[in-house]
Amino acid sequence: MKKSALILALSALLTLTSCNSVFFSVREEDSSYVSSPVKPDEPKGSDGAAAYEDAEAEIDPEEYYGEWGNISEKYSIDASAKMLSEADAVSLFDRLGFDDIDITAEYSEDGAFTDAAVISGSASIRHPMYYALYTSASGVLWNISVVEDTVLADPVYVNFTQEVPVIYSPAEILVGYDSGSNSFYHIQPDNKSIILVTEPELDRAMLDGITEEELRR
């Protein structure tokens, strides 16, 4: 199987960093981190992107995503009419109140991995996923991911220190991305491996109102 970056924007924590990651964001110890991901240390070398790809594990995305719930849909990027351009992504983050943080992308429209770069508010280039880190007014570090056109948010440190991760999504379906097949996945979580909290609008005000104590309940 072709090496790939599994990105589960736990619509869901699962920006997978394996095969990369945020947001569904998978845990770093699982070689993947959902959604934005906080990734394993990047390998040293003259070509960081190539070195990172060589270090990725070969993971079957259907087996991987199947551990989180039922895969209800899979389709290629070519079949997607919702994937955002850089300009669209910046507008979306601005509308949600995140107009003062850097938004980055790591995968091209054809599934190629590149070093993370801050996107432009005027570019028409499209990417399967975008992510940004945001520290809320209550002190919680959030990974905010956009997979295809779905916004997902996971509390980074909270999810690293508890067994079952918490993911905020506008819907009860998680969205994942696999760069090997250059495809999006929709996953219906089983409510055992992930605590999925649905909120219609994952904006700055909403995230600012959530404390770490609430997340650990």
Integer Cα distance of 126 and 84 in angstroms: 6
Element (H, E) at 87: helix 86-95
Which of the four pLDDT bands, split at 50, 70 and 90, describes residue 60? confident
Which of the four pLDDT bands, split at 50, 70 and 90, describes residue 75? very high
Yes or no: say if 148 and 154 are a contact pair by the CB < 8 Å rule. no
Whether 3 shows a pLDDT value over 70: the answer reads: no
Which of the four pLDDT bands, split at 50, 70 and 90, describes residue 7? low
* Overall average pLDDT of the 102-112 stretch: 95
The pLDDT score that the predictor gives to residue 31 is 32
Q: Is residue 175 part of a domain?
A: yes
Integer Cα distance of 126 and 148 in angstroms: 10
Lowest mean pLDDT among 15-19, 101-105, 133-137, 176-180: 15-19
Whether 83 shows a pLDDT value over 60: the answer reads: yes
The pLDDT score that the predictor gives to residue 217 is 72
* Overall average pLDDT of the 170-174 stretch: 91
Which of the four pLDDT bands, split at 50, 70 and 90, describes residue 167? very high
Which of the four pLDDT bands, split at 50, 70 and 90, describes residue 5? low
Integer Cα distance of 203 and 152 in angstroms: 10
Q: Is residue 123 part of a domain?
A: yes
Residue 144 neighbours by CB under 8 Å, 6+ apart = 22, 23, 35, 36, 93, 98, 131, 132, 133, 134, 151, 152, 153, 202
Q: Is residue 156 part of a domain?
A: yes
pTM confidence score: 0.78
Q: Is residue 1 part of a domain?
A: no
Domain of 16, in residue numbers: 6-215
Q: What is the mean pLDDT of the chain?
A: 80
Residue 63 three-state SS: helix
Whether 177 shows a pLDDT value over 90: the answer reads: yes
Whether 41 shows a pLDDT value over 90: the answer reads: no
Which of the four pLDDT bands, split at 50, 70 and 90, describes residue 15? very low
Provide the domain count of the chain: 1
